Structure 1
Amino acid sequence: MNRTVLITGATGSVSSALITALEGAPLTLRALVRDASRASGLARRGVEVVVGDLGDPESLPPAFKGVTDLWLLTPMDPRAPEHSVNAVWAARQAGVERVVRMSAIGADHNVPTRNGRLHASDRELQASGLAWTILRPHAFMQNLLWQADRIAAEGVFSLNMGDGRLGTVDVRDVAEVAATVLLADPQRHHGKVYTPSGPEILTFAEAAEQLGQALGREVSYVAASEEEARAGMVASGISPWSAGMLVEYGRALGSGFGAYTTSDVEDVLGRPPRRFADFVRDHVAAFTARG
């Protein structure tokens, strides 16, 4: 039987990496997008592009028709629970067999981040009667790319995470875990909650040192206050809601919320997760000054 995987969040970093990980597999890949004009690259890669909006349940049935597997990634947004419920409803109506959901680190009603609290809606998927697997990955190494231009120009980056210690994970490992789950029999990973992490716990000062070694010049991490971080994000065009969410993450992660690693990547993939040094080596060009 040919399986059709519907991918939400298809133009984002995780779903893009998932599409790469699934290329060449005996699957039909279908991407749900709100704006088809932003998805021409997906079509060129052989991905079916369908227009729909998780915020508009009436738009979803055509996109879900014939789908066997759903990759459910909702944006970090106040409407995330609504989007998730709409997707699960559409999946049940369409006879989808399995949902693999991208959740949030520590998702629960009582976690110190609003994104984690919003993703407590995982429970609705768990009670849906569908086969399900949930991924709650650690903070992404790729988040550092948001400050790549500053690192390239000034040799410095700044976050409101103090001396927090994190077991950050490479987005590519998260995508490969998701791909492995989607390629397996639906019952193989049913009912599992995976928390992909990297293999080591680092402070950002240690990360800066490793980055500097790869670039052959000094790179420094400067701990920012919450006020500085918030103002900088809003000035760069990030919405006040999103800036507040990211400040919360910084506060939580700087206080030990992310000071752990798991074996989940190796358990699923049969190999160790990428180290921070691997991420840096593969992205040296992004942190290097142009011209």
Structure 2
Amino acid sequence: MLLRQAVLQEQSMSMIDRSKPILVFLAAGVQGGVVSRTALARGLTVRALVRDRQRAAALVASGVELAEGDLGDTASLRVACAGIDHAVLQVPIGPAEVMVAQAENALSAFKTAGIRSFVLKLASASRPAPCEEPSFVANQMVQDAARASGLPFAIVRPTMYLDNLLKPSALAEIIADGVFAPPIPASQRIAWTSADDCAEAALTLLERSAMGGDHRIAGSESLTGEELAARVSAGLGRTIRYRGQPLDEFEREVDAAMGAGVGQRVASKFRYFAAHPDDADAIIAHPYVAKSGLDGFQPTDVETWVRSHRQAFGASDEPRS
């Protein structure tokens, strides 16, 4: 009952024309899929940009309107943006020049369609000052392109996603061995967030027309690896251990799965954290601090998030006492 009252209150505050859909990018992926489902749960209409309609059956079944398009094809983006006032933009991780070109294609389509505002959902938190780490460079270049567009927008960026526990390789190890082994030492504190919380934040900003801010979405607690494992264990009702995976081992596994050289690019951010512990703490360790536009937003704690995903971990609906 309280949740429904909160939803109704949020709807009453909404400054969005709810008769028009919100355009969600990368909607067939994990992050975009969560944004689409969260928007529907908030009573919004969604148009999902997907590259392949055949891979989006679940979105169609949930009531989402599909728009086939590609971030490399500006013409398809203009069609997808027709009749849209607001969007949640995310570009896939890759080389900085590719990410910027894709962002600029989307921004061009936004301007042609007369989009009123958008939320730029970055893949990770960035270092406040310039540095040479490729993913931070790419993030900065994408947000610079957004600013150059002149369109009203807000930024949402995570610390580290709890959804990493649900990646197939991680999930298999958790289920089989009771071990979560990301490429981060157990001593590194992290204020873990989730795709769900980032989606809620993005949509809240759109509904409130709270543009102009840069919002770091983090958890309410700063946890070591062992503390994270304890929270996950409590949520699942069985013991889970944390093991920091050596970065060389992580790179080899990524190369084997995705091709030579990919592991080095993916591991770059983690090597940066290891070499710059003060920056790592500033980026991922500090708990959530509310900023104007997200007044009242409360992060989901780790145990609650785990309980809500128990079936994905192969657990029964209720943990053992």
Name the TM-score, length of structure 2 as normaliser: 0.81
Letter in 2 for 1:180: T
Distance 1:271 1:154, change over 3 A: same
Match of 2:298 in 1: 272
Deviation at 1:242, TM superposition (A): 4.2
Residue 240 and residue 68 in structure 1: after superposition, are their counterparts in 2 closer, same or farther (change >3 A)?
farther
User: CA offsets per residue over residues 95-151 of structure 1, 9 Å max, x none?
Assistant: 111121112311667346422211112012112121111111211111122211111
Task: Give distance in 1, aligned partners of 2:126 and 2:292.
Answer: 20
Secondary structure in 2 aligned to 1:195? strand
Identify the residue that residue 209 of structure 1 maps to in structure 2.
230
- Partners of 2:292 and 2:235 lie apart in 1 by 25
Contact 2:50–2:56 under 8 Å retained in 1: yes
Which of 13, 38, 52 matches 2:69? 52
Distance in 2, matches of 1:275 and 1:265, equals: 19
- Unpaired segments of 5 or more residues in structure 2? 1-16, 317-321
**Residue 283 of structure 1 aligns with which residue?**
309
CA contact (8 A) 2:205 2:293 kept: no
- Whole-angstrom distance in 1 between the partners of 2:151 and 2:80: 18
- Evaluate the alpha carbon distance shift between residue 242 and residue 250 of structure 1 in structure 2; reply closer, same or farther with a 3 A threshold: same
Q: Find the counterpart in structure 1 of residue 177 from structure 2.
A: 154
Do the aligned partners of 2:234 and 2:303 also contact (CA within 8 Å) in 1? no
Counterpart code for 2:303: A
- 2:6 corresponds in structure 1 to none
**Any idea what SS the aligned residue of 2:258 has?**
coil
Q: What residue number does 2:264 align with?
A: 244
- What is the Cα-based RMSD across aligned positions, in Å? 2.4
The separation in 2 between residues aligned to 1:137 and 1:265, in whole angstroms, is 14
Report whether the alignment pairs 1:95 with 2:118: no
In the alignment, what sits opposite 1:175? 199
Report if aligned partners of 1:97, 1:130 keep a CA contact under 8 Å in 2.
yes
Residue type of the partner of 1:116? Answer: F
* Map of 2:99 onto structure 1: 80
What are the within-5 Å matches in structure 2 for residues 1-291 of structure 1? 1=17, 2-23=19-40, 25=42, 27-78=44-95, 79-103=98-122, 104-106=124-126, 110-111=130-131, 113-120=133-140, 121-146=142-167, 147-162=170-185, 163-184=187-208, 186=209, 189-235=210-256, 237-254=257-274, 255-256=277-278, 257=280, 258-264=284-290, 268=294, 270-288=296-314
CA deviation after TM superposition for structure 1 residue 275, in Å: 1.1
Structure 1 residue 288, shift from structure 2 partner? 3.8
Please give the alpha-carbon distance, in whole angstroms, between the structure 2 residues aligned to 1:37 and 1:265. 40
Structure-2 separation of matches of 1:140 and 1:278:
14
Q: Are residues 119 and 28 of structure 1, via their aligned partners in 2, closer, same or farther at CA, if it must alter by over 3 Å?
A: same
Distance 2:177 2:150 in 1: 52
TM-score, structure 1 as length reference: 0.89
Per the alignment, in what secondary structure is the counterpart of residue 23 of structure 1? helix
Amino acid aligned to 1:223 = G
* Partner amino acid, structure 2, of 1:58: A
Identity %: 28
Give 2:290's aligned amino acid.
D
For 1:157 and 1:191, the matched residues in 2 are separated by 37
Deviations 1:201-243 (A, max 9, x none): 11122212222344444322222221111112223x2344542
Q: Secondary structure at the match of 1:32?
A: strand
Relative distance call for 1:26 and 1:210 in structure 2 (3 A) is: closer
Question: CA 1:81–1:21 in 2, change beyond 3 Å: closer, same or farther?
Answer: same
**Distance in 2 between residues matched to 1:56 and 1:107, nearest whole Å:** 31
Between Structure 1 and Structure 2, which shows a larger proportion of strand residues?
1
Higher mean alpha-carbon deviation, 29-38 vs 55-64, is at 55-64
Q: Structure 1, residues 136-184: CA drift from partner, whole Å, max 9, x if none?
A: 1211111122211111111122222112111110211111111112222
- Describe the shift of the 1:80–1:158 C-alpha distance in structure 2 as closer, same or farther (beyond 3 A): same
CA contact (8 A) 1:33 1:51 kept: yes
CA 167–111 in structure 1, closer or farther in 2 if over 3 Å, else same? farther
